[in-house]
Amino acid sequence: MAERIFPGIEEHPDILALRARSERATSTVTAQVMEGLGLLAGLYLAASAWIVGFEGSLPTVAVTNLIAGLAYAFFIGGGFGSAYERTHAMSWAAAGIGVWTIVAPWAVNASRNAHTTAEIVSNVVVGSLAFVLAAGTALLGLRAKRHT
């Protein structure tokens, strides 16, 4: 008796359609620019304590920014690059990291009131930019989903 061979899950028509839709969403110039800027924002956030100069006076905020920046760059910059269908879902997590970046100086260092103006401005600006870029990337994915 002949053995029946079934195609793998990666060849399932629904998976192929999902990948094609996500590929269309990420192949636009707008999406590529937003993801590139998001990657740069995440890398800046990770290094911001050393760039702005508050790593010595506020080490907890420095470590928080380092971890949040690396996570943001991973989520928005294509850490799931081989799984395009997950990229836009992870953008919402990156948007949450953007919001966290805005409130982190006060949430992490609430007992000490040693915030510098440069630290606050840096976190609020990069956190706002990170949120806008991540939400925009996620919305591009939703828009592509509606058009299919």
The mean pLDDT of the chain is 79
Given a cut of 70, whether residue 14 has pLDDT beyond it is no
Quick one: what percent of the chain has pLDDT higher than 90?
32
Q: What is the pTM of this model?
A: 0.75
117: which 2 tokens? 């103006």
- HEC per residue, the chain: CCCCCCCCHHHCHHHHHHHHHHHHHHCCHHHHHHHHHHHHHHHHHHHHHHHHCCCCCCHHHHHHHHHHHHHHHHHHCCCCCCCHHHHHHHHHHHHHHHHHHHHHHHHHCCCCCCCCHHHHHHHHHHHHHHHHHHHHHHHHHHHHHHCC
In this prediction, residues 117-124 reach a mean pLDDT of 91
pLDDT in tens, 26-78: 567 887 788 889 999 999 999 999 999 888 778 888 999 999 999 999 888 76
Q: How far apart are CA 83 and CA 38, in angstroms?
A: 18
Q: What pLDDT is recorded for position 67?
A: 96
In contact, 53 and 118? CB cutoff 8 Å: yes
Q: What pLDDT is recorded for position 77?
A: 73
